[in-house]
Amino acid sequence: MRTGTSRPVGFACGATLGFLADLVFADPRRGHPVAAFGRAALAVERRLWADHRGRGTLHTAVCAGGAATAAALLARSARRSHKADVALTAAATWAVLGGTSLGREARAIGGALEAGDLEVARERLPHLCGRDPQSLDSQQIARAVVESVAENTSDAVVGALVWGAFAGVPGLVGFRAVNTLDAMVGHKSPRHRRFGWASARLDDVVGWPGARLTAALAVVAGPDPRRALRVARRDAARHPSPNAGPVEAAFAGALGVRLGGTLAYAGRVEHRPVLGAELRPVAAADIERAVRLSRRVSLLALGAAVAGRWAVTRVFRDRGMGRLGAGSMTRRVSG
């Protein structure tokens, strides 16, 4: 069948084109689809908010479920044409990936630190993570940037590609919707402690495979795979996040730097375990090394996603042929 056989090819071509579009164009300053989703989710939150987990679960279901359902309907219509399938996959991939913008923001902060302009680095840090920049010195900002590059390589690139390989365009869009909701309401603020519980837990679930793949690829792509593997295996479980732990530990070992420790979010201080305690502190120059590692991991993840899409399609096709064969045999026997 034409649409069935072209589906892995459509994903391979579309995902590659979308990946290249992110490299060339990055995120648009205005009119980004993820920003539009965020505004819609905020409007739904205004109507549904209550200091209750049930209301938060409904908010997650409406927003993430609605985005994935809309993507599934579009994907179903696009399957009638190979070109439409490729175009939709490319557009969705470009919309959900954020690797290039991640690298640009990280490099801008790194450049400011290397130039000795701590105020500019503090001013730009909120574009990358939610930490309180005024409480951080140069070394702490560099560490925050490297940790953010590591975690967002999984959240902004690899995780989306993993779900795209498994579920096509609905997987790409659904993952980004869940990840965006977690960023909006999944934190432990007084307003969202209960309301954001469902989004945070769902993000942990959908982020699990991408985080493990990111960590594995960081081990492979880094300059010292043995050290990266050692630190990842030893320190990943020490991190309070089940998904950030493996990724940050693998990046720490790969780059040969110490991550973790004390940090502050909007006046709330956290004392996190140190990852790679025997390694040296992060320096401003390590930001560029982290960005380059992130880029290598992302390219490997694209290849893994394309191969994974072929494998998933073949499994479902073989199962379908198996059921068809069993049905034909039943008809022959009964006839």
Question: Cβ distance 160 to 97 under 8 Å?
Answer: yes
Query: Across the chain, what does the average pLDDT equal?
Result: 91
Q: What confidence score (pLDDT) does residue 1 get?
A: 37
List, in sequence order, every residue forming a beta bridge with 257; answer none if it has no partner. 280
In the predicted structure, residue 6 carries a pLDDT above the cut 50:
no
Question: Cβ distance 128 to 148 under 8 Å?
Answer: yes
Task: Look at residue 327 and tell me if it is in a domain.
Answer: no
Q: Tell me how many domains the chain contains.
A: 1
Task: Look at residue 230 and tell me if it is in a domain.
Answer: yes
Q: Which residue has the higher pLDDT, 153 or 323?
A: 153
Task: Look at residue 202 and tell me if it is in a domain.
Answer: yes
Q: What confidence score (pLDDT) does residue 54 get?
A: 97
Residues 6+ apart with CB under 8 A from 298: 19, 99, 153, 157, 158
Mean pLDDT, rounded, for 91-106: 97
**What tens digit of pLDDT does each residue of 111-134 get?**
999 999 999 999 999 999 888 888
DSSP state of 186: -
Q: Is 256 left (phi over 0), alpha (psi -120 to 50) or beta?
A: left
Task: Look at residue 326 and tell me if it is in a domain.
Answer: no
Q: What confidence score (pLDDT) does residue 327 get?
A: 53
0.85 surpassed by pTM: yes
Q: What confidence score (pLDDT) does residue 131 get?
A: 83
List, in sequence order, every residue forming a beta bridge with 247; answer none if it has no partner. none
Q: Which residue has the higher pLDDT, 263 or 219?
A: 219
Structure tokens at 130: 């939610």
Give the pLDDT band (50/70/90) at residue 319: confident
What is the sign of the dihedral through the CA atoms of 275, 206, 179 and 295? Answer: positive
Q: In angstroms, rounded to a whole number, what is the distance separating the alpha carbons of residues 241 and 186?
A: 13
Q: What confidence score (pLDDT) does residue 2 get?
A: 41
Mean pLDDT, rounded, for 86-104: 97
**What tens digit of pLDDT does each residue of 239-284 get?**
999 999 999 999 999 999 999 987 766 566 677 899 999 999 999 9
SS3 letters across 194-236: CCCHHHHHHHHHHHHHHHHHHHHHHHHHCCCHHHHHHHHHHHH
In the predicted structure, residue 51 carries a pLDDT above the cut 70:
yes
**If we measure between CA atoms, which residue out of 297, 210, 312 comes closest to residue 19?**
297
Q: In angstroms, rounded to a whole number, what is the distance separating the alpha carbons of residues 78 and 81?
A: 6
Mean pLDDT, rounded, for 154-167: 97
List, in sequence order, every residue forming a beta bridge with 57; answer none if it has no partner. none
Q: What confidence score (pLDDT) does residue 333 get?
A: 45
Task: Look at residue 210 and tell me if it is in a domain.
Answer: yes
- Roughly what angle, to the nearest 10 degrees, separates helices 285-334 and 159-185? 110
CB atoms within 10 A of CB 189: 13
Question: Cβ distance 113 to 141 under 8 Å?
Answer: yes
Question: Cβ distance 111 to 208 under 8 Å?
Answer: no
Residue 128 has φ and ψ, to the nearest 5°, of -110, -35
Q: Which residue has the higher pLDDT, 330 or 294?
A: 294
Mean pLDDT, rounded, for 32-42: 95
Q: For 1-10, 58-67, 90-99, which range has the lowest pLDDT when averaged over its residues?
A: 1-10
Q: What confidence score (pLDDT) does residue 130 get?
A: 80
**If we measure between CA atoms, which residue out of 129, 150, 118, 121 comes closest to residue 266?**
129
Q: What confidence score (pLDDT) does residue 266 get?
A: 58
Task: Look at residue 329 and tell me if it is in a domain.
Answer: no
Give the pLDDT band (50/70/90) at residue 144: very high
Q: For 91-100, 151-160, 262-271, which range has the lowest pLDDT when averaged over its residues?
A: 262-271
Give the pLDDT band (50/70/90) at residue 28: confident
Q: In angstroms, rounded to a whole number, what is the distance separating the alpha carbons of residues 275 and 234?
A: 9
Residues in the chain: 335
Question: Cβ distance 37 to 178 under 8 Å?
Answer: no
Q: What confidence score (pLDDT) does residue 325 get?
A: 57
Task: Look at residue 334 and tell me if it is in a domain.
Answer: no
In the predicted structure, residue 326 carries a pLDDT above the cut 60:
no
Give residue 291's domain range.
2-315
Task: Look at residue 333 and tell me if it is in a domain.
Answer: no
